[in-house]
Amino acid sequence: MPEVGGKITAAEKEKIDAWLRTRWPHNYKCPICQSENWTLAEHFVELRTFSGGALMVGGPVYPNVLIISVPCGYSVLMNAGGMGIAFGPTSPDQKPVAEEQAPLAPERQDEKDV
Ligand SMILES: [Zn+2]
């Protein structure tokens, strides 16, 4: 489970590196600068659902890993759940997600109430 503040732990970095070694295209070039020099950001980043332009606090988020082109900063987002990274509950009602069942995003509360 990621540290508070979203910093990627050493164990998660190993898991991400292993995932990338098997799926990241060999010699993948940055579409902007053509470099093959990429680095992994030190923190998970999140994408929030759109809520009419207002910030929705407590809503679902999609945790992602950020892979950055070193020379120019072009960035690629990879969904952390899709890489097998497990995240804890996003609300007191939600149970932690087992690592092998990590979804692409936390389950939406309004879908659970239906
Ligand atoms: Zn680049």
At residue 87's C-alpha, the angle toward residues 85 and 90, to 5°, is: 155
Distance 45 CA to ligand 1 centre (A): 19
Residue with tokens 């600068």: 33
In a domain, 21, yes or no: yes
Pair 30, 67: CB distance under 8 Å:
no
| Ligand 1 centroid to residue 68 C-alpha, Å | 8
Domain that holds residue 92: 10-105
3-class DSSP state of 25: coil
For residue 46, is it within any domain?
Answer: yes
Query: Taking the complete model, does pTM exceed 0.85, yes or no?
Result: no
Identify whether 31 is part of a domain.
yes
Q: pLDDT per residue over 24-76, tens digit each?
A: 988 899 999 999 999 999 999 999 888 888 888 888 889 999 999 999 999 99
CA 90 – ligand 1 centroid, Å: 34
CA–CA gap between residue 79 and residue 44 (Å, rounded): 10
Does residue 62 fall inside a structural domain?
A: yes
Question: What is the model's pLDDT at position 6?
Answer: 87
Give residue 44's region: left, alpha or beta (phi > 0; psi -120 to 50).
Answer: beta
